Amino acid sequence: MDIVFATANEGKLVEIKSVLAEFNILSLKDLKTGIEIIEDGATFEENAVKKAQTISRLLNIPVLADDSGLEIDYLDKAPGVYSARYMGEDTSYSVKNSRILNLMKDVPTRQRTARFVCVIAYAKPGSETVTVRAEVEGIIHSRIQGENGFGYDPIFFIPQLNKTTAELSLAEKNEISHRGKALKLMKELLNNEIP
Ligand code: ITT
């Protein structure tokens, strides 16, 4: 079964395709709609719903969308919903991550708490849009560490695993991550509850 996932983020897509392996996932790049969705919501929910509904209405088919980001408590939950645009959309993550580490360089471990948040929305023509949310707690690491994943993974450290999420395999990250957990919740909805 084909499922449209309204994302252009390749890092997300790798994780999405791995968890939703029984579906054929089509991304915004596959659809070539050329449409740019302005993510102007104040919450992850608003942005995920807007992305899913915009593409669902345009194509008149069911569509999934993910809005996610990193909340750093010491930075008043920034970058939060602005995670992709933080310090400029075109700034590389090695620069963004280094700058965050620099902003936090004298901050003790107990004040370095952070979480990744993921909201996935499912919009279907003629039905109420549904959302699921999941989070994973961690701390901002003292250095860039790990090669896997994408975005802020090399600075997001999970003390229980003694690793950053950039040191986890795809399967390990999906097991514990905000997106992995949200995708599993959405998969249950798709398989059981949504007519
Ligand atoms: P789409 O809207 O096309 O899906 P995007 O990258 O613009 O792609 P978001 O607006 O949801 O997506 O921004 C999410 C940002 O949060 C993403 O670009 C990363 O910087 C960060 N992020 C989210 N999940 C992450 C993860 O699992 N690992 C590392 N960084 C993550």
CATH code assigned at 122: 3.90.950.10
Q: What is the pLDDT of residue 193?
A: 64
Task: Using 50 as the pLDDT threshold, list the residues of the chain that sit under it.
Answer: none
67: annotated active-site residue: yes
By CB atoms closer than 10 A (0-12, 13-18, 19+), residue 193 is exposed
Question: From ligand 1's centre to the CA of 59, what distance in Å?
Answer: 24
Q: What is the pLDDT of residue 178?
A: 98
Q: What is the pLDDT of residue 101?
A: 98
Q: What is the pLDDT of residue 195?
A: 52
List strand residue ranges (DSSP E) for the chain, in order: 2-5, 24-27, 63-72, 78-79, 113-123, 130-140, 156-158, 163-164
Question: From ligand 1's centre to the CA of 49, what distance in Å?
Answer: 15
Q: Which residues line ligand 1 (CB under 6 A)?
A: 7-9, 12, 39, 66-70, 83-84, 116, 149-153, 177, 179
Domain count along the chain: 1
Token pair recorded at residue 60: 């008149």
Residue 21: domain span: 2-192
DSSP H helices, 23-133, are 28-31, 44-59, 93-103
